[in-house]
Chains A and B, each alone.
Chain A
Amino acid sequence: MKRVIVLSFLILVIPFAVFSVEKKIQLPPDHPFGKLTAGPGSELTEKKCGLCHSTDYIVRQPRGDFKRWQGVVTKMIKVYAAPIDEQEVRTIADYLASAYGTAAAETTKPK
């Protein structure tokens, strides 16, 4: 009897085990670490710049003035066709330059 059980276990399970089959994972939601600092234009920025990727792409970028951030936003439009109009570019770059601007001290010190 025992041998029958072992045998049927082998017959039933081994082929399935060999061809075992599906892998499924579940990813967590965007981490709060990427949340943008509140300020004029932050909601628009959160909405537009969170369309294709989480906004943690933004928070650890090199700080920059209006021109540098405008460059980043323009790249998103030119290269990836981000749906952002002229007026919104200004609002977003203004916001980013004030929230993630050059004024705040920044270390480039090697470790």
Chain B
Amino acid sequence: MATPSRRTFLNALGLSGVCALGDRILPPMMRLFAAEDPLLSGRPLVRYPEKTDLILLTSRPPQLETPMRYFDRAITPNEAFFVRYHVSPVPTRVDLDTWRLKVGGSVETPLELSMDDLKTKFERATVTAVAQCSGNSRGRFSPRVNGGQWADGAMGCAEWSGVRLRDVLNKAGVRKEAVEVLFNGLDKPAFPSVPDFMKSLDVSRILDDPNILIAFQMNGESLPMLNGFPARIVVPGWFADHWVKNMSEITLLDKPNDNFWTRAAYRIPDNTCGCVEPGTSPSRTVPINRLKVRSFIAMPANDARVPIGHAVQLKGIAFDGGSGISEVQISDDAGNRWRRVALGKDRGPFAFREWSADWTPPRAGDYRILVRAFNTLGESQSATPLWNPAGYQRNVIEQIEIHVV
């Protein structure tokens, strides 16, 4: 730890890593989320350290959802980025003087890297990529399923910078026997019988993919604590269960990882849709992996009232698992006719792709606007939601209601 005088000095200059916001805890007043989405109406709006007003899913461990209005743009602000933890307590204090990222297990030379080592001994790499929780939109499953009842805000897109995971593995020297790489963060369950949250990836997957990062920056700033300070794993194109936060240890394994969070959790039916007949169980499962195509309308909000005779500006985002979005379409007649909309700047295949359209309602009344996207492989979204018992990877065609008055 730094000396008090140095800390005080830095604080006074506003240069210290200590987050001023972090010390200001708002009283748990009941500020509620507006009723634009029935699933979210009545949930508290809360402000956590380094975050703006977000929708509370759970307080211990903290889990926070991003309101839909932030998805009118490609980059989700750090302060609005969703928060998802599995076990409690989560880390609340990290001192970079003592923090080390350990790389061990089946390697030639075990490493203990400081933040300075990461920043000076490896080439920098940056990728703009979507982090989406496997259970995003779980609350909309019908029949309903147990688990975090997210609406659609357990996703976000940021520009992640750090170093390539494969460069770090190569520096340590991967032994021939190693098959998987296990990630562990600083979150440690207080209750010893609760399995520590750890995730793994195949060694070959990491060595082949220059986009998998150990990221220590998010949109040009250090990560908020609740998004993984000081460093997190970034696996572009894959669901965020692999994006382990507040990283502390990387272990090369000679045998596949048998940890609960891989063996039993985060698994989908072993078929092309990752789905089963609603209400049934799959006979075989595999770990959840690549993101499916999704698209959303963020503006106007669901249930908006607009005046007749004016064009309404529609805005939103689309994404997929890394092939890139090629087309976004909207429909105002229940999907009979689709109209192609304008795409925004291409920030790479792993990023949110902004889209926008002007829509002029032909007459007064209630309208449903549908949106769907296609990726460069020709994959799209379906009008019938897929279902699985864990409530993973929903990607149905989304819609909002607009009242023209």
Contact = CB atoms under 8 A, between A and B. Distances in A.
Co-complex (A, B): yes
Interface in A42-57: 51-54, 56-57
A23 interface: yes
A14 to B, nearest CB: 10
Interface string A33-68: 110000000000000000111101100111000000
A32 to B, nearest CB: 6
Given A22-B94, A32-B30, A111 B38 contact: yes
Interface in B11-47: 13, 15-19, 22-23, 25-26, 28, 30, 37-39, 43-44, 46
Interface in B70-118: 87-88, 90, 92-97, 115-116
A17 B15 contact: yes
B19 A24 contact: yes
A111 B303 CA distance: 9
B58 A27 contact: no
Interface SS of chain A: loop
Contacts of A87: none
Given A28-B28, A31-B59, A111-B38, A23 B149 contact: no
Interface residues of A, number: 38
B15 A27 contact: no
B140 interface: yes
B22 A53 contact: no
B35 to A, nearest CB: 10
Interface residues of B, number: 70
A31 B194 CA distance: 23
A24 B24 CA distance: 12
Interface string B370-381: 000000000000
B13 to A, nearest CB: 7
A20 B16 contact: yes
Given A22-B96, A27-B49, A16 B6 contact: yes
B60 A53 contact: yes
A25 interface: yes
A24 B28 contact: no
Interface of B: 1-2, 6-7, 9-10, 13, 15-19, 22-23, 25-26, 28, 30, 37-39, 43-44, 46, 48-50, 56-62, 87-88, 90, 92-97, 115-116, 139-140, 142-146, 149, 151, 189-191, 193-195, 222, 225-226, 229-230, 260, 264, 302, 399-400
14 contacts: A13-B10, A19-B115, A21-B1, A21-B2, A21-B97, A23-B230, A24-B19, A26-B92, A31-B44, A33-B30, A54-B59, A54-B60, A60-B43, A110-B140
